[in-house]
Amino acid sequence: MTQMPGFEDWLEICNLKARYCRLLDSKDWDGWAALFTEDCEIDTRPAGGTLEQGRDAFVAMVRHSLADARTAHQVHSPEITFHGDGADVVWAMQDRVVKDSFALTGYGHYHETYVRTADGWKIARQTLSRLIVDMVRT
C-alpha cells in the first residue's frame, strides 16, 4: 500500500484537520470519530488533560466534556513530514471554549501522527500542548 506522497496527500491531511475543527465545534460526534483510527492515542496531559487510548474512549470523554460548551477551534501553518504511509504534522492552534462557569482561550500546538488507511488518512496519535491559556471565571 506504500506510495510516494504528493500534493494530494498534503491536501487530504489539511482537509481532514479542517473537518476535525468543524465537526468538533458542531458536535457531529460520529463524523468526528471517523477521523481517527480505532486504536488512536490522544494525549492532552501537556494541556492539563488526560491520556486516552482508543477512539471510543476518547470521543466519549470529549463528548462528555464539551456537551454543554460552545467551542471554536482553528488550526493553521501545518508542518507536514511524510514517511511512507505515515505523516507527522504540527499544527499551530487556537481554541475557545465557553461553558457556564468559565471561558477559555488557548494557544498552542497539535502534534499528530497520521496513517494512510483504505479509507484515506486518519489521525493515529495526537498530543495537545498549550503555550498560553486565557481563562475567565464567570
Query: In angstroms, what CA-CA distances link 63 with 16, 29, 66, 91?
Result: 19, 7, 5, 22
54-90 pLDDT, tens digit each: 999 999 999 999 999 999 999 999 999 999 999 999 9
39-52 pLDDT, tens digit each: 999 999 999 999 99
Between the CA atoms of 25, 73, 96 and 52, what dihedral angle is there, to the nearest 10 degrees?
80
Q: Which pLDDT score is estimated for 138?
A: 85
Does residue 33 carry a pLDDT above 90?
Answer: yes
The model's pTM is: 0.93
- Res. 108 pLDDT band, cuts 50 70 90: very high
Domain 7-137 has CATH 3.10.450.50: yes
